[in-house]
Amino acid sequence: MKPASPGPIRIGTRGSVLARTQTEWVAAALRGLGHEVEISVITTRGDATAGGPERPSADVPVARLGGDGVFVRELQKALLEDRIDLAVHSLKDLPTASVDGLVLACVPIRENPFDVLVGRSAPTVDALPRAAIVGTSSIRRVVQLKRLRPDLVVREIRGNVDTRLRRLDAGEYDAIVLAAAGLARLSLAGRATEVLRPDRFWPAIGQGALGLEAREGDRSTLDRIAPLNDRDTQLAVVAERACLAALAGGCLAPVAGFGRIEDGRLLLGCCVLGEMDGTVVRIIEEGSSEIDVEMRQPVTEGGIRAAEMLGRRVADRLEAAGASPLLGTHRRQVSP
336 residues of the chain, pLDDT tens digit each: 445 568 999 999 999 999 999 999 999 999 999 999 999 999 865 554 444 444 444 444 444 434 456 679 999 999 999 999 999 999 999 999 989 999 999 999 999 999 999 999 999 999 999 999 999 989 899 999 999 999 999 999 988 999 999 999 999 999 999 999 999 999 999 999 999 999 999 999 999 999 999 999 999 999 999 999 999 999 999 999 999 999 976 656 789 999 999 888 899 999 998 877 666 678 888 888 876 544 445 677 888 999 999 999 999 999 898 888 888 755 554 433
**What is the pLDDT at residue 83?**
97
Half-sphere exposure of 193 (CA within 13 A, CB side): 17
Q: Going by C-beta distance under 8 Å and a sequence separation of 6 or more, which residues neighbour residue 64?
A: none
Q: CA–CA separation, 259 vs 233, rounded Å?
A: 8
User: Which residue ranges form the domains of the chain, and what is each CATH number?
Assistant: 1-109+209-229 (3.40.190.10), 115-196 (3.40.190.10), 231-336 (3.30.160.40)
Other Cβ atoms less than 10 A from the Cβ of 25: the count is 16
CA dihedral 138, 144, 145, 146 (to 10 degrees): 110
Upstream peptide bond of 298 is cis (omega within 30 degrees of 0): yes
Q: What is the DSSP string of 64-92?
A: GTTSTTTTTHHHHHHHHTTS-SEEEEEGG
- Cβ atoms 181, 203 nearer than 8 A: no
Q: Burial letters for 63-84: b for 16+ Cβ neighbours within 10 Å, e otherwise? A: bebeebbbbbbbbbbbbeeeeb
Q: What is the pTM of this model?
A: 0.87
CA dihedral 124, 125, 126, 131 (to 10 degrees): 130
- Cβ atoms 232, 87 nearer than 8 A: no
For the chain, strand residue ranges (E) read: 9-13, 37-41, 86-90, 102-106, 115-119, 133-135, 153-155, 175-179, 194-196, 210-215, 255-262, 265-276, 279-290
- Phi, psi at 33, each rounded to 5°: -90, 0
- Cβ atoms 105, 212 nearer than 8 A: yes
Q: Indicate which residues carry an active-site annotation.
A: 93
Q: What is the largest CA-CA distance in the chain?
A: 75
Q: Going by C-beta distance under 8 Å and a sequence separation of 6 or more, which residues neighbour residue 127?
A: 119
**What is the pLDDT at residue 5?**
65
**What is the pLDDT at residue 62?**
44
Upstream peptide bond of 316 is cis (omega within 30 degrees of 0): no
Nearest to 60 by CA among 44, 73, 49: 49
**What is the pLDDT at residue 286?**
86
Burial class (CB in 10 A: 0-12, 13-18, 19+), 187: exposed
Q: CA–CA separation, 13 vs 20, rounded Å?
A: 6
**What is the pLDDT at residue 65?**
38
Q: CA–CA separation, 308 vs 240, rounded Å?
A: 8
**What is the pLDDT at residue 128?**
98
Q: CA–CA separation, 276 vs 328, rounded Å?
A: 10
